[in-house]
Amino acid sequence: MNGCNLIERLNISHPGTGTSQRHTIKVLVVEDSPAVQEFLIHVLSSDPEIQVIGSARDGEEALEAVKRQRPDIVTMDIHMPKMNGLEATRRIMETVPTPIVIVSGTSKIHGVEPTFHAIEAGALAFVQRPKGLGHPAYEATAKDFVETVKLMSEVKVVRRWARLRSDKAPAVPSLQTSDPLPAEIRLVAIGASTGGPLVIQTILSRLPKNFSVPIVIVQHMSPGFIEGFAEWLGHSSGFPVRVAAHGEALLPGHAYIAPDGFQMSVERNARIGLRKDELENGLCPSVSYLFRSVAKIYEQKAIGVLLTGMGKDGAAELKLMKEQGAITLVQDKESSVVHGMPGEAILLEASTYVFPPEGIATALASLVKAGSSLAEARKGRL
């Protein structure tokens, strides 16, 4: 993943590192290909803190194995006979909630779309299958795979009650009527990591069709998935989404996602800048890099949004945006898969508001509409 260790990229320390108190992580490997299954077991077993306690060849076997063996985490293939990985993920999260990491053997746009449906079903993260033994990228990809499994094993997951879900929209906090009216909003910038794809999808799908400002997004993600993420996000949310291109003009009501391996910024002429720049917080793209440019260029005419994720990427720069007059929204702890990034922002007093995803969508719509109304009123007085 951009040639750097996942722990370093996320800028966190793994609890218990260097102590004898670290417990062994019990992993169930779900993969229908015997050769690939054996390979994944080999890679995982190379880490002394991981114990592969079992394997399954299809979703039905996986569901029974999870119930029987109670692993700490499951690595899940998508394309399998009898019951595929998507349905297995859904069933596991409804019956025996367990952290699940999707392991994908493809990075083609249409090939990775089921991966994002698995995220909708409750999987925590996804990663490309490590390259084969002897491949130049084997060590780096195997290391990222192992570290992803270790990190996700610590995330607390909850049961998904599929048959009890309601179409009724949940109640969300509202903006205070005593709050000052915002300036005219010209840009929304969003940063997210672990758990972010589904939250971003929730936010975009709840925005009004006439949402009048562009949205720029940095989502930490394994290389090779961004194109598929953009396509899935656009289809599932109904919001126009594309992978950003250098020099591209920012259009109202469109979302732009930072591509793999590029730092993304916004420029003075309302265009996107992409650079093969240094890693920041061990990351490329980095939320901090984007937010700093937004603070400089848009000042009080922007909204910054920091969502679920490990580490602290973007937290200090969200505070910088707030100090420049921007409105800042942070995801609450209860709805976050991991509250590292938003939690750090709250500690730094970088948040104007703290909301769940639905509340963030409502706030964005209200703030942009209020800013537009204020701008129109000012024009009318001229």
Q: What is the pLDDT of residues 259-313, one digit of tens each?
A: 999 999 999 999 999 999 889 999 999 999 999 999 999 999 999 999 999 899 9
The mean pLDDT of 227-242, rounded to a whole number, is 94
| DSSP-assigned letters across all residues of 89-139 | HHHHHHHS---EEEEES---HHHHHHHHHHHHHT--EEEEPPPPTT-TTHH
- 220 is annotated as an active-site residue: yes
Sequence ranges of the domains in the chain? 25-160, 187-381
Distance CA 325, CA 328 (A): 9
Q: Give the tens place of pLDDT for each residue, 342-382.
A: 999 999 999 999 999 999 999 999 999 986 655 555 555 54
The question of whether 313 is a catalytic residue gets the answer yes
C-alpha 1/C-alpha 164 separation (Å) is 38
Q: What CATH fold (topology level) applies to the domain 187-381?
A: Rossmann fold (3.40.50)
The answer to whether 32 is a known catalytic residue is no
Partner residues linked to 241 by β-bridges? 255
- pLDDT above 50 (res 13): no
pLDDT digits (tens, 9 = 90+) for 85-107: 999 999 999 999 999 999 988 65
Predicted TM-score (pTM) above 0.85? no
Which residues, 6+ apart, have CB-to-CB distance to 259 below 8 Å? Answer: 226, 243, 244, 274, 285
Six-digit token string for 38: 């054996």
Which DSSP state fits 264? E
Give 7's pLDDT tier (boundaries 50, 70, 90).
Answer: very low
**How far is C-alpha 335 from the chain's CA centre?**
13
Q: Residues 211, 369: contact at Cβ < 8 Å?
A: no
Amino acid, single-letter form, for residue 292? R
Catalytic residue (one of 58, 104, 153, 220): 220
376 CB-near residues (< 8 Å, 6+ apart): none
DSSP-assigned states of every residue in 136-187: TTHHHHHHHHHHHHHHHTTS------GGG--SSPPP-----TTSPPPPPP-E
Half-sphere exposure of 367 (CA within 13 A, CB side): 30
Same fold, 25-160 and 187-381: yes
Mean pLDDT over the full length of the chain: 86
Residue 181: pLDDT band (50, 70, 90) is low
Burial bucket for residue 113 (CB in 10 Å: 0-12, 13-18, 19+): middle
Catalytic residue among 72, 77, 144, 313: 313
Q: Binning pLDDT at 50, 70 and 90, where does residue 169 land?
A: very low
Banded pLDDT at 180 (limits 50, 70, 90)? low
Is residue 138 within 8 Å of residue 131, measured between CB atoms? yes
Annotated catalytic residue within 55, 104, 153, 193: 193
Report the top-level CATH class of 25-160.
alpha beta
Query: Distance (Å, rounded) from C-alpha 85 to C-alpha 80?
Result: 7
Q: What is the mean pLDDT of residues 126-142?
A: 92
Contact 132, 39 (CB under 8 A): yes
Q: How far is C-alpha 194 from the chain's CA centre?
A: 5
